[in-house]
Amino acid sequence: MNEHILVVEDDPAISTGLVDLLEGEGYEVTLVADGLEAVVAFESKGPSLVLLDVMIPGQSGYDVLRQIRTRDTQTPVLMLTAKGQEVDKVVGLELGADDYIVKPFGLQELLARIRAALRRSSASRSAAGSGTTGNPAGGGTARASDSRAADARHAAFHADELRFGDVVVNARTLELHRSGDTTPITKRELSLLREFVAHDGEVLDRADLLERIWGVRYEGTTRTLDQHIAKLRQKVEDDPANPRHIRTVHGVGYRFYSEPPAE
């Protein structure tokens, strides 16, 4: 069965080209031109991925994204934004978009981002639905340790709940509970926390984190990542200026501790 892409775009000059391109690549495509139709189509069609323009009639792309994420936190959503509108990118990512594409965009770049998002989604769903197999006898201590680490990482990436220190994160409701307070988190923040918990105590390179979470290898600025880390620290740290869980490794990236070591 072909993967199904929901395209939400009101500009015929763009939407016609998108439909032709995607159908030519073998995707099944549903095209709608406004926000109200987009929500209905998402619920009725159950697409594999959504291409969502920010500026659409009926409801804005942001409103559509909010409604999608209340129903589904897994289906990839790629936002289409006007060139130079950085605020569109930031707001979209904060609301749970998986990626953004700036108009005018290259067709090959668009296809590459779609394929990458679908691969990540497929891998996540496959891993979530698979069982865990035991270690072969005589595998040795190192192999057993590697297997336990892999099991821990699998659990972190697919658990409905993450716990560290006094923090409890509900992956289904996208809520973070700490010290009696409940704070909403974005899908991107959840992905970062999963990555950190899965690699507890390890140094994670900034570029690697950007590739794992955003799906694109960044060779330039890591400002987007650093901004997300700063916001996460506001939610999980007693003193964000002196973090104990998410620590900066200068010149490299970050190291996460679920239980911070004694100073």
* pLDDT (tens digit per residue) in 213-255: 776 555 556 778 889 999 999 999 999 999 999 999 998 899 9
What 8-state DSSP symbol labels residue 256? E
Range among 134-143, 150-159, 160-169, 175-184 rated most confident: 175-184
Domains, the chain, ordered by start: 4-128 (3.40.50.2300), 142-256 (1.10.10.10)
Model pLDDT, residue 59? 84
Please tell me which residue, 137 or 205, carries the higher pLDDT value: 205
Q: What is the pTM of this model?
A: 0.52
CB 91 within 8 A of CB 62: yes
Between the CA atoms of 252, 253, 257 and 258, what dihedral angle is there, to the nearest 10 degrees? -150
- pLDDT > 90 fraction of the chain, expressed in percent and rounded: 38
pLDDT, tens digit, 9 for 90 and up, residues 3-23: 999 999 999 989 999 999 999
Q: How many residues does the chain have?
A: 263
Tell whether the model's pLDDT for residue 155 goes beyond 60: no
User: Per residue in 19-49, pLDDT tens?
Assistant: 999 999 999 999 999 998 999 999 999 999 9
Angle at the Cα of 51 from the Cα atoms of 49 and 52, rounded to 5 degrees: 130
Contact between residue 157 and residue 127 where contact means Cβ atoms under 8 Å apart: yes
Percent of the chain with pLDDT strictly greater than 70: 80
Q: Residue 187: what pLDDT?
A: 84
Where are the alpha helices (H) located in the chain, listed in sequence order? 12-24, 35-45, 61-71, 86-95, 107-129, 140-158, 187-198, 206-214, 223-236
